[in-house]
Structure 1
C-alpha cells in the first residue's frame, strides 16, 4: 500500500507518492485527536531479524556472498555488526538480547505509529530505512526528559495513577504541539529510504510512517553512555522495573579484562567501578549500623 489513503479525508493528489509529508502528518494528528472516527492500521513491529532475516547482508555458511555483499556484511554500519563493535560496550554482554544486540525489523503502512518512549537502559538507538515511504520522527533532548514526563502526567493524571510506568509501555501518543505549548522542546525530521536516524540516551522519541516501508533498528552503547546507564538503573529501581541486563555485572566484567578496552572506555569503566564500590561500602556501613541498633535488616531494605 502506498500513501493513497482512502479515509474520511482522502488525499486527493493524482499520484499517491506525491502526497506532501505535511499533509499526511496533518491527517495523522487529526485522526489521533478525533473521538468520532476509527482507523485501523497494521504495523509489523519488533520482528526478530535472526528468525526472519536481516535487510543487511550477513556472513554465514548457508549463502555465498558477492564481494560487494561481503563488504557490507562486515561494515560497522551494518546493524548486525554495530552493537558488537569494540567501541560498543554491549559487545561485553554474552547473551543475544533481542532488539538491543540483535536488530528488529519494522514493516510499516500509512499512519502506523510508534509512541513516545526512551530506549531500554537509556541506550543509543539507530534506525535504518531500507526502502519505502518516509518515516516521520519527533524527538525531545535528554535534558527535557523529566519535563516531558511531568507534562504528560499533568495532562493525563488518570492514566499515570493506574500505571506509573506508562511511558515504558509504548502506548502513549501526544501531539508535539501540545508538548511545545507546555515548554517541552521538540524536534522533527522525515527519514527517507537509505537514511539513518540515531537517538541519544534518554532522548524521548515517537513518530509514524508515511506509507508502506521497511526499516531495521538496534541499540548500541559507547563509553559516554555509562553514567546514563547507571542513572537509568537507579530510575528503574524507584519504579520497581526489571532490567534487561545487569549493569553492575557489565561494569565488573569490563573491569576484569582491561586489556580488551581502549583508553577512553577503560577510563570510563574505572570511574564507574569506583562509584559502584563507594556505593556498596556506604550501603554495607548503613546496614551494619541498623543491625547494631537492633533493627531488622528486612525493615531497612527500601
Structure 2
C-alpha cells in the first residue's frame, strides 16, 4: 500500500513540475544547444548556415572590440557590485529601524524593480545630461561643476553604475528579511560585553546575514556581466549613436550588435558562450571563496 501511494505521489510531483520542465527544455536548454551549434557556423539569418569549425572562436581571441567590451564590463561590475551591496544593505538597515511604516517603504523601494529598464535609462539620460540635467544643476547649487555623465568617456561607466542602483529594491527586501532573522539575544549579549553599535554590526549582524550578502554579491555580479538594456538605452539609442564610443561598449551590447545589426548569428553565439564560460568561472570562484566567510545556521564555525 505504501509503495502504491509513493508511486502516486511521484506521478503527482512530476505532473506539477512538468510545465517548468517543458518550459526549460523549449526556452532554455533548447536555445542553448542551438546557439552552441550555431557558434560553429557562419549563420546570418538570411543565408543557409555553413560550418566554419573553430573560426568564430579564433576570431574572438583576435577581435580587439571583444577585449574592450570585456574590460568595460569588468570595470562596470567592479563599480556596481560593491555599490549595490552597500546601498541595498544601508536601505535595509534603515527599514529595519522604521517600525510600523516599514511596509510602505519596503514597497516604495521595490517599485523601481518593476519599472522597465528602458524607461529608467531614458529618465536618467535626462537627469544626467551634462548641460541641462537636474543632477548637474543641483551640484551647481553647491558650487560643484558637474561632469558630462553620458558623453565623457571617463564618466560613462560610473554613470551606468549609478543608474543601475535604481533597481536594488529586490536586494533590499532580501537583506531586510535576513536582518529580521538575527536573534536579538546575540545583540543583547554583545551589549553586556561592552560592544558598541559598530562592533555589534561587524561581529554580530554581518556574520548572521552573510548568507544573504553572499547571495546578493553573486546575483549582482551575474547581472553586471550581462548588463545590456540600460547601457543600450543611454548610449546606443537612436539619439545617442553619434556620441556612443568604445568607452561605453559593454559585452552584451557588442553581442547584440553582431546578432541583430551585423546579422552574424554564428559569431554572436560564440560571444554568448564565451560570456557563459566567464560567468560560470567567476561564480565558481565566488562560491569557493565565499564559503570560507559565510556563516550558515547549524555550522560549527
The TM-score range, normalised by the shorter chain, is under 0.3
Which is greater in Rg? 2
By percentage of residues, which structure has more helix? 2
Q: Which structure carries more relative contact order (alpha carbon 8 Å, separation 6+)? A: 2
TM-score, L = length of structure 2: 0.24
